Structure 1
Amino acid sequence: MRRRLLSSTLVVAVIAVLLLGVPLGIVVGRLIVDEAAQELRAEATRLVGEVEYARIQETPLDPKQLEQKYPDRYIQIFERGNPPKATIVGTPPPSGEQMTEDAESDSGIFVRVSRDRAQIEQDVYARLLLIVALAVAALAVAVGLAIVQSRRLTLPLLDLAGIAERLGSGDARPSKHRYGIPELDQVAEVLDRSATRISDLLTREREFATDASHQLRTPLTGLTMRLEEIVAASEHPEVVREEGEAAIVQAERLTAVIDELLAAARRQRHAQAEPVALDEVLIQQVTEWQPVFRGVGRTLVLAGTRDLKALATTGGFGQVIATLLENSLRHGGGTVTVTTSCGDKYVVIEVSDEGAGIPDDLAPKIFERSVSGGGGTGLGLTLARALAAADGGRLELVRRRPAKFAIFLRPADDNGRRVVSGPA
């Protein structure tokens, strides 16, 4: 491309120089010749006047004075009279080629002034040589500008090609290079946006595997505990049946969680949000987690307004509650209370405990990825907030000590509320 730019620019410059330089050379040559002829004509006319004045004053002409006054001229003066007079000043041109101009007065004075044509041709050649030098300089400037312009165009194109190649190889870092050329800057901006989108896609793909493993861990833990209960209670058929049914529910929840994760990966959760009876999900979660809390000597309580409905997904909302309960089990203390209430704009589900709470330095970044205060993965609260946001709600830390988290969901139905308190 650079070679084509140079060659095309050079061709355009040569054509421009020829179109301007050749006519200019012809015009300059003619102007020099015409100027020399006009000068000779003026000198001949002036000499006629001087000879007339000398005749009137009856003073003879001085050839030496005329030769000094008109150097490099061959002058012939003829005067009518009796006898006629002729005066010659200077010598004929040595080349034999001369330019001549005549002048004559009414009194019979005839003057012819000549000069060497070779001098005029030398002057023309000097001017033409100057024009050629200027043309060569113009071509050199054009070539220099073409080189600069070609570098300005080709180097950004090579850079953009390298950026596109990096994108193809998986390096999705935006370059943020700009070149001062609107068209190339637009291409670079498009590539940067594409790099950002590709980077987001790759990040989501990598995070999906991590999130899936973390999200599946809680249902698998519950399923394991139920199976352990089955094994421990094998001597009591009724207990075995109850625990087996609970294990089946856990397996169904595991399947639902997998579906939720896949939907989240495809960013389809907003379209799946629908009115959900919160009591069903909360009672299910409390029932599943109560044995674990009893095993460590703690109590899990469900309180607040009953029969509430909110826009959410059953699996996503259940996973958020499970994450908050697990977080209270591992990092909190005392009784854990799940409280539901309804305001004008939101249905609020609060999960609180009686533990030491969250340190001040950790509270502002508690929802950040890979941030954990107790040696965990640092993914639970991050994923829980993402799941709540995907359902059109939000998860917030409303109190640090003791810790209290609140889920805000959009209400779906305000009918049939009743307030209860106590263990579920």
Structure 2
Amino acid sequence: MRARLTLLVGATAALILLAFSIPLAILLRNSAAQEAIAAAEQEGTFLTPIVSSGDVARTETAVQTYNAQASHPVTVFWPDGTVTGVDAPRSDAVELASHGRSLTAATSTGREILYGIGLPDGNAVVRIHVSDERLTDGVARSWLLLGAIALALLTFGLTVATLFAGRLLVPLNDLAAVSHRLAEGDLAARADAAGPAEVRNVGTALNTLADRIRELLEGERERVADLSHRLRTPLTVLRLETEALSDPTERETIEQAVGEVERAVNAAIRDARNPAGAGSCDAAAVVAERVEFWSALAEDTARECRVRLAPGPLPVRLSAPDLAAAMDSLLANVFAHTPDGTPFEVRLTPRYEGGATVEVADEGPGLPNLAVFARGRSEGGSTGLGLDIARRAAAASGGQLVFGQGPGGTGALIRLGLG
């Protein structure tokens, strides 16, 4: 943008300078020609009385003196055809002047100024020649000076344009940098109040927006933490009820489920109060642990669980709690949207460019439409947020979540790519 502003100002200044310089250059040339012609006419004015006296000897002396001192050659054509002074052709303009007229005519080498002077035996003609060099004497020097002034003005204009563009664009670049930092999650980024008044107003508005976003996020995190904390009371009651069960096997199963719920609640409170940045974990260990947990429910619902996990370690750019939450959402989707007894398979493979790919495939009725996986959308009575957790986990690690059909064109396949 700096280059475009400088170019715009330079083009405008150049057009203005041309608009003034070209007429001024023409005026200088015409003025020099007029000065040369005026000087020649003055010489003719001095010679006219001498020639009108008819004294050839006196006229010859005066003409020789002028030709020796002046820069304009003088010629006198007498009525009898004799010539005094510098030899010159008897042009049509001279013939016209011999009828008693005074005029100025152009020649191939300049201009000739003619005076017709009446004598007793006819008309004499005084010719003063002004060459092209005399007509343009000093014009080149004047044009050179004019060009230097125009170039200096253009340079000055470009310098001012560059300084102005810098004064305008540096604050704008700072505003853009602050905007990018805010977009990346740095809510402490603030813009400096610098530059023109309009830019300062934008910076102030951006800072106000950042403060408001920070207040809203902090309030939202506190509300999520408070809501998660309220769940601890019914969980405590549920744990006490579980301890009162007489069947050890049933008590152990329910206690394990309650423990998982408590773990999820504690993670929600921790993440709400202290949102974590990017982490890393061993995908092989986390996926194996979550599959083992869900295997018990698969056995209770008569589902065949086929597991194909590549040996670890398989490091991914995602924290263990986040990967565990993503796996829980994928597996919970199978149990929630397929009937009991539906087989499913979990596969974990390394990616060529690093990371890992987790695939969960089932042999159920398949996906009704991809819109059900949009955040907040569900056709099965759920919140519609489960798979969005997996999608955000994939995006946080540099991967993506892909939906498709299961093996043989039946069922559903959800592929979680992790960077």
Q: Which band: TM-score by shorter chain?
A: 0.3 to 0.5
Per the normalisation by structure 2, the TM-score is: 0.45
**TM-score (norm. length: structure 1):** 0.45
